Amino acid sequence: MNLKIIILVLLFSGLQVLSGVWAEESDVIKADRLALADAKASGDSSKIIAAKEQLSDDLGMAEDQRRRDLEGVTIPLVPDGQGHLLADVVINGNVHASLIVDTGSPVVMLTSKFVHRLDLDLSGSNVGYVEVLNGKYRAAQISLNSVRLGDVNAQDVGATVLLDSNREISDGLLGLSFLSKFHYSLDQAGQKLILRKTE
């Protein structure tokens, strides 16, 4: 009697876990499961086999993506000869920038020289002052449509544009308004940045 109760509890727990997993599945996997159920209902063996293969392929791809998300994306960085590490970043879909990775900067910071390449209208932006590596500068607040680093992309990233020239910073700084969208770790010795998706 006790053994039957334990088995029923385990089965029920397993169903709860399974239903929880299904609840988190993508629309593609859900559609695959529905297609398999329809194929089984039709009794057509060729449709059942095709639906099982499709579900298996998509589950494999989803598992690969989950593994990549857990392992993170490794971005190689380039030293600039002044103790900083540079990342090749694509802003707003098509403009490349070489940004200093700066975990102490609260936002992505772009220089006035670089921002001309983005063709942004700064006339309506809030203007104030910011402290940067070598002084205090007038700056405007903006939002970037997208910031891409390797295979990792973030949208609506807050940024600051330095309105005064700064010779020590070429294109800008890659700060926390981008980095904090991920679990990140900076390997100075290995000259790489590792980004993992947040929950």
**DSSP, residue by residue, 68-92:** HHHH-EEEE-EE-SSS-EEEEEEET
Determine the pLDDT at residue 51. 84
Q: Where in the chain is the domain with CATH 2.40.70.10?
A: 73-197
Work out the pLDDT band at 131, boundaries 50, 70, 90: confident
**DSSP, residue by residue, 25-58:** S-HHHHHHHHHHHHHHHHT-HHHHHHHHHHHHHH
For residue range 33-84, list pLDDT tens digits in order.
998 888 899 888 888 888 888 888 888 887 766 666 666 788 999 998 888 8
Give 73-197's CATH code, choosing from 1.10.1040.50, 3.40.50.720, 2.40.70.10, 3.40.50.300: 2.40.70.10
- pTM for the model: 0.65
C-alpha–C-alpha distance, residues 37 and 154, integer Å = 37
For residue range 2-38, list pLDDT tens digits in order.
434 333 333 334 433 333 333 467 888 888 899 888 8
For residue range 70-120, list pLDDT tens digits in order.
667 889 999 988 888 999 999 999 999 999 999 989 999 998 888 888 888
C-alpha–C-alpha distance, residues 179 and 157, integer Å = 10
